[in-house]
Structure formats: C-alpha cells, structure tokens
Structure 1
Amino acid sequence: MFLKSIELQRDRIPSFDRYPFTIPSIQQLDRLELRSSVTFFVGENGSGKSTLLEGIADKCEFPAAGGGRNNTYDVHASESALGDYLRLSWMPKVTNGFFLRAESFYHFASHLDQIADDDCMPDIYEAYGGRSLHEQSHGESFLSLFANRFGQKGLYLLDEPEAALSPQRQLAFLRIMHDLVKKKEAQFIIATHSPILMGFPDASIVSFDDESLKEVDYDETDHVQITRYFMQHREDFLRRILEE
C-alpha cells in the first residue's frame, strides 16, 4: 500500500450548503483509513463514491477525464470541487498511477492516437497492447490498459471499470489485479457496482449508503444480496416487480 488515508479538511470548507458538500457521505466524511491494497467504493448512484474518487484523482494530479500525470489533453469533464479540500497521507508517496473514467475513456484513446500522429510516436501504443485502443473492442481496450499500463508501483483509481467488461473479462481483470498486488506494485481504489469485482480476496469494501462511510462485509452489500436473491428466485422476483 502507498496511500494510507484520506482526510477531509473540514475547517477549510467555506460552506456545507454547496455541492459536493451537500452529498451526505461527503458531508459526514472526516478521515478514511485505507487498510488494504484493494479498496472498493460501493453505493447507489449519487451516493458520492465517484465524487470522492474524482477528488482523490485531482489531488494526485491525474487528468479529470482520465489518464496519468503525464497525460495532458483538453476535453470536457467534470472538474473536481473536492480535491482542494482533501489531504492524502502516503507511506511512501508515489506519483505513478492512472485514473480511469469509463464514461470518458473514448477521449483518452483519442488522445493517444493524437500523440501517435502529431508527435510521430507510434511506440506509445506499446504500453496499451501494441495498437490503438480504438482498434480494439471496448472490453479489449480496457484489458489492454490494465495488463500493459498498470504496474511500476502506482495508485490506480477506477470508476466503474465493469462498464466495458463481460463477466468473463471481469474475472480476467481480477487476475491482473492479483498479480500486481502480489508483487506489491499497485494499490487500487475502485468505485463499482459489480459483485464479481467486489469478491477480490481480502479487499476492503466501503459503503457510501446510509449517509456515511463505513466498511462492510461482502455479503452485507445490497449489490450482492440483490444479485444472489435474483439468481435464486428469478421467476418469483420478476413476477413480483413486473406484475405489481
């Protein structure tokens, strides 16, 4: 692990009546201790998990639209209003890493193509599977990024990576994570809805529901409970929600 804790500098916030401090989980945030090399942020849409992840990325100087510190490009993306009020505690501090925003990954892939064309640097693709990410399927491009770009003692912030991954490819990603964590070369913080990803061994799961942050067990998450119930009682479940 490299990043040890995330602290909200509450005394510097001018007003808790402005976004993003109106989000209950952010409003209640004091200090979040990270105790695992893999931490999952889980909760309903709008619960604040992506907002906090974006704030961490901003504090790490990763581009708002996604990428590493050496990726500079202009594209419309929500700038974090939270990063200026966060304090990150490191041991040791690392500057390498990557911020993945599934919704703006297309723009990152285009950024790489522009570097390859304008700066005559076709070898830039070597860190992404050897060819343009646009020449790969969405799922293939994500796995190429994970398998080739991640490593070198870095912090990897991923916002809903399962958006482009089939269940089988989610399992492949778990193996990539396992290999990197085992070599002590990576720390992951992942905002997700995927019960498959959340199942990573010894990961910490932080719930953003119930208006505060708290660590929960895998089987306590709504994502796991609802998915399990649906799989075990599919016909009854569908009958009740579709006929009422």
Structure 2
Amino acid sequence: MFLKRITLQHDKIPSMNNYPFSIPAIQNLKQLDLKKNVTFFVGENGSGKSTLLEAIADKCEFHTAGGGRNNLYEVHASESALGEFIRLSWLPKVTNGFFLRAESFYHFASHIDSVDTQGFKDYGGRSLHKQSHGESFLSLFLNRFKGRAIYLLDEPEAALSPQRQLAFLKILHDLVSNNECQFIIATHSLILLGYPYASILSFDDGKIREVDYEMTDHYQITKYYLQNREKLLKELLEE
C-alpha cells in the first residue's frame, strides 16, 4: 500500500453548505484510513463516492477526466472542487498511476489518438477507438497498468460484461499480489465487490464506514431479487 490516509481539512472550507461539501458523507468526513491494497467505494448515486475519488485523482495530479500525470488535454468541467481541501498521507509516496473515469473515457481515447507515437503499445497495439468499449478497457488494464503505482477507477464495470468483470478481477489480483499496486475503485458491480482481499467502504447513511460484502445494498437487493423475482416484479409493475 502507498496511500494510507485521506483527511478532509474542514478549517479551510469556506462553507459546508455548498456542493460538494453539502453531501452528507463528505460533510461528515474527517479522516479515512485505507487498510488494504484494494478499496471499494460503494453507495447510491449522489452519495459522494465518485466525488471523493475524483478529488484523490486531482491531488495525485492525474487528469480528472481520465489519465495519468502526463495526459494533458482539455475537457469541459473536469476540475475537482474537493481536491484542494483534502490531504493525502503516503508511505511511501508514488507518482505513477492512472485515473479511469468511465463517463469520459471517450475523451481520453481521443487524446491518446492525437499524441501516440509508439503504435499504442500501452493499449494493446491498436487505437482505443478501434476496439470495442470492453476491449479498450481490458487493453488499458493489461498494458498500461504495471509497476509501483496507484490506480483510481470510477465504475470500470460500465464497459465490461460479467465475464470480462471476472477477467478484470484476475488482472487486478495479479497486479496487487506483489504489493506494488494499490487500487481504489468506485463501483456498483456485485461481481467486483466480491473480490475477497478488499475493503468495502459504504458512503450511504451520511457517513463513510466499512461494511462486509453481504451487508451491501448491492448484495441484499440482488439476493432478494433472485430469490423473489416474480413476486417482486408483480408488486413493482402492478402498483
């Protein structure tokens, strides 16, 4: 592990009433300790998990629309409002890494097309735009992710089928098994959350807290749905 702690500097925030500081989980954040090489952020839409992940990326000097330190391109509204108010505690500090943002991955792929001079060697030998969405994600994971680094992923499952989510878990496990990589992943994927060597942090209920896999809403709702599909759909659709 490299990043050990995230601290919100409340004394520097001009007002907690403005977004994103008004998000309950962010508002109540003081200090967050990271305990494992893989940490999942989970929670409802708007709970603050992607907002905090983006702020970490900003503090790492990664492009907040997606990329690493050396990826410089312009995307509207890619700045982080939270980044300047958090402090990251490292041991040791690393500068290598990558921020994957599924919603703006197209812009990152276009940037790579415009600057690549090495035959896309970090992306499987082909332009990311000439691969399917899922293929381009896996090409990134397989070829760009390596060495001592921290990787911040915002909903990587967005482009991955269930089978490819399992393939990603194998890639992730291989990368962290030598203790040279750290991952922080915001996700809704029940498959990814099942990775057994991770810490799961829930942003629901107005605070950030560690939860077990079986206690996540993702697990509880999916389990109930699978066990009671006909009954649940009848109640839902015939109201």
Residue 78 (structure 1) shift: 3.2
Q: 1:201 aligns with which of 188, 196, 203?
A: 196
**Where do 4+ consecutive residues of structure 1 move more than 3 Å?**
none
Percent of aligned pairs with the same amino acid? 71
The residue aligned with 1:216 is: 211
Alignment of 1:170-185 (within 5 A): 170-185=165-180
Unpaired runs of 5+ in structure 2? Answer: none
The residue aligned with 1:44 is: 44
Find out whether 1:114 has 2:109 as its counterpart. Answer: no
The residue aligned with 1:235 is: 230
Alignment of 1:120-199 (within 5 A): 121=117, 123=118, 125-199=120-194
The residue aligned with 2:73 is: 73
**Cα distance in 2 between the residues matched to 1:229 and 1:78:** 38
Do the aligned partners of 1:64 and 1:77 also contact (CA within 8 Å) in 2?
A: no
**Cα distance in 2 between the residues matched to 1:2 and 1:147:** 21
Residue 77 (structure 1) shift: 3.6
Q: Secondary structure of 1:4's partner?
A: strand
Two-structure CA RMSD over aligned residues (Å): 0.8
Q: Secondary structure of 1:78's partner?
A: coil
**Cα distance in 2 between the residues matched to 1:124 and 1:23:** 43
Find out whether 1:31 has 2:26 as its counterpart. Answer: no
Unpaired runs of 5+ in structure 1? Answer: none
Q: Secondary structure of 1:56's partner?
A: helix
Q: 1:186 to 1:228 in 2, by over 3 A?
A: same
**Cα distance in 1 between the residues matched to 2:218 and 2:32:** 22
| TM-score relative to the length of structure 2 | 0.98
Measured against aligned partners, the alpha-carbon deviations of 1:108-134 in whole angstroms (never above 9, x if no partner) come to: 000011113xxxx1x151011111001
Measured against aligned partners, the alpha-carbon deviations of 1:172-214 in whole angstroms (never above 9, x if no partner) come to: 0000000001022210000000110001112100000000000
Q: What is the count of residue pairs matched by the alignment?
A: 239
The residue identity in structure 2 corresponding to 1:71 is N
The residue identity in structure 1 corresponding to 2:225 is F
The residue aligned with 1:59 is: 59
